[in-house]
Each structure stands twice: as structure tokens, then as C-alpha cells.
Amino acid sequence: MAETSVPEPIQQFVDATNRGDTEAFVDAFTDDAFLNDWGREFHGREGVRRWNETDNIGVNAHFDIVSVVPADEPDTYIATLTVTGDGYNGTGPMTFRLDGTRIASLRISEG
């Protein structure tokens, strides 16, 4: 699959994390967002906020985008990110499904 330009909600997800801006991070998601981090499930913006506190900005995560490619499903992208910080460190895929200008779901797992 060909690499694509980074959709705005994914860029906001990365930029807000790197700035440590929790409100902008949570705002990147829809009200009914779903986040699955290796089987741990979080629902809605409050769930996203909890995940952010324990696994993202709360552990000083920093993202560098390696690539973004369209997935097989509509409005879905696979972003390969390098993560550094005081939590998980490494490079791997995150699958984003977008709903207009926000993230409707995020799955973090193996490709």
C-alpha cells in the first residue's frame, strides 16, 4: 500500500501527545470512541482520558510517525509510530478509524 499524507485527526493525536496537551488529545476522539490497547478496552472520551493518563501523556510518551497507509476498510489507516517515554518504548502499528475530523476507534496491537 502506498503511504499517504497524515490525516488531521492522526496528526492531532501525535501533536497533542508530544506537547503533553491532554485536552487536545481527548478532543481528537469522538464522544463514543473505542480504544483497544492489546486487549485492554476503553470507551468514550472518559475511557480515552484514563488510557492517556496511564499509558500516554501520563508516562511522557512521545510519538514519531514512521508511515501512514490506508487500510482495507473505509476511513481506516495504519500508522506506524515510534514511541518513547517512561512507558512502552518501540515501533509498531496503530490502526485508526476516523469519523470526519475525529478518531472513532484506535487499535494498538501487532500488525
Work out how many domains the chain is built from and give that number: 1
In a domain, 15, yes or no: yes
CA distance 82 to 93: 9
Whole-model pTM? 0.94
In a domain, 3, yes or no: no
Which CATH number does the domain housing residue 30 bear?
A: 3.10.450.50
Q: What are phi and psi of 110, to 5 degrees?
A: -65, 160
User: Percent of the chain at pLDDT above 90?
Assistant: 93
pLDDT of residue 72: 95
Q: Which string of DSSP letters, residue by residue, matches the chain?
A: ----PPPHHHHHHHHHHHHT-HHHHHHTEEEEEEEEETTEEEEHHHHHHHHHHHHSGGGT-EEEEEEEEE-SSTTEEEEEEEEESSS--EEEEEEEEEETTEEEEEEES--
pLDDT of residue 109: 87
In a domain, 69, yes or no: yes
Q: What range does the domain containing 65 cover?
A: 8-108
Please write the tens of the pLDDT for every residue from 52-61.
999 999 999 9
In a domain, 2, yes or no: no
In a domain, 17, yes or no: yes
